[in-house]
Amino acid sequence: MSKQVAVILSGCGVQDGSEIYETTLTLLRLDQLGLGYRCFAPDIMQHHVVDHLGGEVVEGESRNVLQESARLARGNIAPLDELEADEFDAVILPGGFGAAKNLSNFAEAGSDMEPLPELVEALAAFHEARKPIGLMCIAPALVPKLLGPGIAVTIGHDPGVAGAISSMGGLHRSCGVEEIVVDFENRVVTTPAYMLATRIGEAATGIFKLVERSDELMDIWFVSTVKKQRPW
């Protein structure tokens, strides 16, 4: 049986949900590596709806995060509260403002933000089991509140977001768009993606590295955890 990765989405579209290219590139590289995956999203209403042509909030319109995420997942998606870490070997969070608006209130509250309780519960189980956790774009800003202080992450080199991460107890590491930051002790892998990318190829390089490194960490987890329990 192939390794299985949970992918947590936050809607559909960079301004109010998951970044479409980041999600697609993540799923593409998972498939190229022969890794199985399942998408999840919270069954909640979006913070707001943004017209992606004009960039303005659409007053009076509301959309469901799970239903919008199903567009990206081609319908193959489940509610976030059904995610069981025991059934997966790693978890990845693409970026997009949905991470800062729907999976948390970081876009409004900054360092005083609170992540969605369902997300905290889901990632805590992966973290406790020492399974790899990948985050990209703005999503790494949630790490101090999701997993605790002292974990190294990157969002690139935006001083405002980096400062918020530091004030929450996180360790921000400046990083180029095509690179990753790995906190090996905590099994956390991050990349800037569209926090810096100006071309899809730039985003792809870093995202592919994140998926590949997560795959390597899954192998390390298997050797250090499963084989110890199965001496034969």
CATH of 4-229, one of 3.40.50.1860, 3.40.50.2300, 3.40.50.880, 2.60.34.10: 3.40.50.880
Give tens-digit pLDDT for 123-178: 999 999 999 999 999 999 999 999 999 999 999 999 999 999 999 999 999 999 99
Domain spans, the chain: 4-229
Alpha carbon of 63 to those of 12, 102, 139: distances in Å?
10, 11, 21
Q: What is the dihedral of CA 200, 205, 189, 111, to 10 degrees?
A: -30
Give yes or no for a contact between 85 and 129, defined as CB atoms under 8 angstroms apart.
yes
| Full-model pTM | 0.95
Residue 119 DSSP SS3? helix
Give tens-digit pLDDT for 102-131: 999 999 999 999 999 999 999 999 999 999
pLDDT score of 67 more than 60: yes
Q: Which residues are catalytic?
A: 137
H or E element that contains 123: helix 117-128
Give tens-digit pLDDT for 14-43: 999 999 999 999 999 999 999 999 999 999
pLDDT score of 200 more than 80: yes
